Structure 1
Amino acid sequence: MSREQRPNPRLNEDLLFNEAPGGPPRYSPLTHKPVQYLTVSDRDGQVIGYVWANDEDDAAGWEVRKAGGDEAFNKGARWARKLHDAKARGVAPTTALAEMIQESDPTKSSHVVPGSLTEAPNLGFVEGLANQ
């Protein structure tokens, strides 16, 4: 006598994921308003990406320059971390940019290009620069 094995009905249930509150504070990754941005380069002067901010939407982020490849991506982690740290301290996004300018050191693997603080009409403009 053979027994037919029936699948456990629990294996067919939909999984429900509920987002848990908490985690580190983060700036919003999106804004449709004008942004201020900084150009970041490596020791050789090659642009590796852009740090942008908008206070009105409490938004800020790092855009890696695609042409910089893996090296630019890896060096960019430092700039994203600076943004995370600034948000954790309750710093406004554009104030975080000002801190980055003051703390920039051209002897490090990457630094803010002096005099590069610029305003763009929107985040899409900065993303376009990064994708060139």
Structure 2
Amino acid sequence: MSEGSERRTSPRFAEDLEFRSVSGPLRYTNSTDKTVKYLTVADADGETIGYIWGNDEDDAAGWCRRLSGGGHAFNLGQRWVAALRDARSRGVAPTEALAELLRNSDPRLPSHIASTAVEEAPTLQTVKDLAAHG
């Protein structure tokens, strides 16, 4: 730059930034204090790796991996998290999503529904306790 010339700043650097809230994929609520329905999920060896749960009153559903399953259970559980997100995006009620997962489960896959029917627990904490200590 030559002497006497001013350094010009682009106006875009001086503008206030506009905050825009964006949303992610639709998801079920992640907790409830009411009775929940749930399914037991097993790996290809038949070992329980976690539980899928749902409650229609609170439009809540989720995945609880068995803590003793470590990274193996975490990785296999992503399929079930994706299945719940897909069901929510289609407007499916949580317990109907569980019924769909039960109907469509394939024991030849790396993880599958081990339950023969949708089970019921008095609270979500009961399912979490199964995952933590079961």
Structure 1 length-normalised TM: 0.84
Gaps of 5+ in 2: 1-18
Corresponding residue for residue 6 of structure 1: none
Mapped partners of 2:115, 2:104: distance in 1: 11
Give CA-to-partner distance per residue, 1:10-46, whole Å, 9 cap, x none: xxxxxxxx78242211100010000000000011110
What's the C-alpha RMSD, in Å, of the aligned pairs?
1.3
Corresponding residue for residue 96 of structure 1: 97
Q: Which runs of 4+ in 1 moved over 2 A?
A: none
Corresponding residue for residue 46 of structure 1: 47
User: Do the aligned residues in 1 keep the contact of 2:44 with 2:107 (CA within 8 Å)?
Assistant: yes
Corresponding residue for residue 87 of structure 2: 86
Letter in 2 for 1:54: N
Give CA-to-partner distance per residue, 1:99-124, whole Å, 9 cap, x none: 00011000000000141521000100
Q: How does 1:1-132 map to 2 (within 5 A)?
A: 20-132=21-133
Gaps of 5+ in 1: 1-17
Q: How many residues of Structure 1 are paired with residues of Structure 2 in the alignment?
A: 115
User: Do the aligned residues in 2 keep the contact of 1:39 with 1:116 (CA within 8 Å)?
Assistant: no
